[in-house]
Amino acid sequence: MLYWLYNTTSINILQYITVRAGSAFFIAFILTLFLIPKFIKWAKKKNANQPIYGLAPKSHQKKLNTPTMGGIVFLFSTITASLISARLDNIFVIGGLLSIVLFGLIGIKDDISKISGSDNQAGLSRKAKFLLQIFSALIVSLIIFFYSGLSSELFVPFLKHPILDIEIFAIVFWILVMVSASNAVNLTDGLDGLATVPSIFSLLTLSVFVYIGGHALLSNYLFLPKVSGSGEVVIIAAAFIGALVAFLWYNCYPAEIFMGDSGSLSIGAFIAYMAIISKNELLLVFIGLVFVLETASVILQVGSYKTRKKRIFHMAPIHHHFEIKGWAENKIIVRFWIIALMSNLFALMEIKLR
C-alpha cells in the first residue's frame, strides 16, 4: 500500500526500504500491544490455557492457567504491517509471508489440539508435524528456487566466494534448514521470554545481511552475495521485530501469555528463510546459537540414553537442566539472552572479516 502511494502520489520518501521498514515496525508494535490484552481476556474466558508437560520441573505447575497461542496475535500484526508496507509484487516478500503463514497454520493446529485435549502431548503427532513442516518448506523452497533467481551456491562464513554450487539439491538443503530452525525455536520456547529475545536478535542480524545483499553497491563493497530484490524482506523482518517487542511486554517473566507453537514454528521458519535468501545458511549456527544449543542438548540426551542408558543432563532441553540445578528462571532467561546477543554480534563481524 505504501509503495503504491509512492507510485501514485510521488511521495519519494515511501520508495525507501528503511522508511517502510520503520512504518512496518511501528504498525506491528502498536497493533500487537493493542490486541494482546484483548486476546488474553478472551483466552481466559475460553480456557485456552497452556497444558503443562507432566515431566516438566515442578515450578512450571504454577503456569497452568497461563493463556497460550499468543503467536496468533503477533503473526496477524506482522502480516498486516507487511501487507501495508512491503511491495507485494516481490517474489521474496511472497516467499517470506508464505513461510510465516504455512508454519503458523501448523502451529495453530497443534496448539488447538493440545488445548482441546488438555494435554501437552495431545497435539499433532511428531510424524504428522514433521511431514507438514517438510511440505510447507518444500513449497517455499520451490518458489524461491524456480522463480526468484536465487543462487544455489553454498557459502561458508568468513569466505568471500562460494565453495560449490549444489544446484537442485539446494531445495533439499533449504527444507532441512527451515524444518530444523522451526523445531529449534519451538524447543527453546520453554521459559518466559526465552525464545522471544533471541528471535529478535536473530531477525535484526539477518536484516542487516538481507539489506546489504539486496543493495548492489553495499554487497559489492563488502563482498557479500548480491540477491536482487531481497532487501524488501527487511520490511517483513521489521514488522516481526516490532510485533515481538510488543509481545515481550506480556511474555517476559512472569509471563501473562505464551506464544505457543503457532508463534515459535513461524519464527523459526522465517529466520531460516532470511538465512537462505541472504546465503547465510551455515552462519545460522552462530546467529541462532541459543536455538542450536537447545536442540543439541536434546539430541545428546536422547542419543546418550539410547546408547548408554545414561543421561548427560538432568533434563533436556538444557534450560530445564539449569532449572533442576536450582537456577532461578529469570536468571536462566537473561543469561541465555546474553549468549544470544554475543553470538549475534560475532555473526555480524562476518560482514568485514571476509
Give one DSSP letter per residue of 250-265, joined into a string. Answer: HHSSSPS---HHHHHH
Q: pLDDT-derived band of residue 24, with 50, 70 and 90 as boundaries? A: very high
- Tens of pLDDT, residue by residue over 137-162, are 999 999 999 999 999 999 999 888 89
User: pTM of the full predicted structure?
Assistant: 0.94
What H or E segment, with its residue span, contains residue 324? helix 318-324
- Which distant-in-sequence residues (6+ apart) come within 8 Å of 8 by Cβ? none
| pLDDT reading at 131 higher than 70 | yes
- Which distant-in-sequence residues (6+ apart) come within 8 Å of 221 by Cβ? none
pLDDT of residue 60: 65
Q: Are 91 and 146 in contact (CB under 8 A)?
A: no
Q: What's the structural domain count of the chain?
A: 1
Residue 57 DSSP label: -
CB atoms under 10 Å from CB of 154, counted, come to: 16
- Tens of pLDDT, residue by residue over 208-252, are 999 999 998 999 989 899 999 999 999 999 999 999 999 999 999
- Tens of pLDDT, residue by residue over 254-271, are 899 999 999 999 999 999
Q: Using the structure block, give the residue that is written with the C-alpha cell 539410547.
A: 306
pLDDT of residue 55: 56
Phi, then psi, of 32 in degrees rounded to 5: -65, -45
CB atoms under 10 Å from CB of 274, counted, come to: 29
Q: Compute CA distances 157 → 81, 140, 254, 347, whole Å.
A: 32, 24, 38, 9
- Neighbouring-strand partners of residue 164: 154
Instruction: Identify the domain containing residue 133 by its residue range.
Output: 2-351
